[in-house]
Structure 1
């Protein structure tokens, strides 16, 4: 597992190669296997594999989403606020599981933050996406995970990247 964590990097450049159905299925299984507080399972996932929809989503906020138009697919990670008060935490865990399984499948990913981000001065990124995808108002969007075959490799991390001063034992 540590090898996977050291290797995984955010990828914003993708090839045109489609993702095989079996790989996408394993990624979605990983999302569904993520733990949930009190077994509430508030997470909802919308898989986008149509280029024109990803192009619409790529303008959901002024910065940090443009590369989505070149991803083979994306997964909207959202939570039903009527099911859990910790939907954000549950969705964040599921999104991480998606990214780790995608890395294991030889794919690249990048988290696109949606919650608390703006589309423009009058509309949030979340409400823009809810309109585009017909997502009901009780389903709040945490992030979009862009997924595709990597167009080039980024160097992995090593132990020098670890900020061990962040570790504390028994007290701060």
Structure 2
């Protein structure tokens, strides 16, 4: 597993090639199996393939989301905070599960943070995403995961990329 993790890199450039429906179903199934606090599964997902919607989503926050418009598929990860007080953690685990599964399927992915971000006019990025996708106000949007066939290659991490000084045993 560690060797596979070394090859996981954020991919922001994608081939103009669709993601196979069965592969996408595998990724979404993995998300539905992601661990969640107390098994409450507060997360929900919106799968977006429509080019116009992806373009709008790419502008939902200032900087860092432009790659969303070129990804064949994006998955909006959100939750109902009334279901779980740790919805952020639940969404984060589910989002990363999607990304790991995408890598295992030979796909690239990249996380676009939405929670706590704003657009160029100072408007809350979550609100922008809710409006674009007609998401009910009770949901909070954590992130958007771009998925596709990589059109860029990045070197894997090496042993020297691991900062072992960040590891502490029994106390700081």
Counterpart for residue 27 of structure 1: 27
RMSD of equivalent CA atoms: 0.9
1:84 match: 84
Count of equivalent residues: 172
Q: 8 Å contact 1:4–1:100 — kept in the other structure?
A: no
Q: Is 1:170 aligned to residue 170 of structure 2?
A: yes
1:74-153 alignment to 2 at 5 Å?
A: 74-153=74-153
CA deviations on 1:34-79 (whole Å, 9 max, x unpaired) are 1111111100110001111101111111200111111001000111
Give the conservation status (yes or no) of the 8 Å contact 1:42–1:87.
Answer: yes
Q: Does the CA-based 8 Å contact 1:111-1:146 persist in structure 2?
A: yes
Structure 1 unmatched runs, 5+:
none
TM-score between both structures, scaled by the size of structure 2? 0.97
SS in 2 for 1:67: helix
Is 1:60 aligned to 2:56, yes or no? no
Residue 22 of structure 1 aligns to a residue whose secondary structure is helix
Deviation at 1:122, TM superposition (A): 4.4
Name the residue aligned to 2:39.
39
Q: Do the aligned residues in 1 keep the contact of 2:11 with 2:152 (CA within 8 Å)?
A: no
Can you give the 5+ residue segments of structure 2 that lack an aligned partner in the other structure?
Answer: none
Local SS of the residue matching 2:115: coil
Q: Give how far 1:132 is off.
A: 0.7
Q: TM-score, normalised by structure 1?
A: 0.97
Give 3-state SS (helix, strand or coil) of 1:27's partner. helix
Runs ≥4 residues deviating over 3 A: none
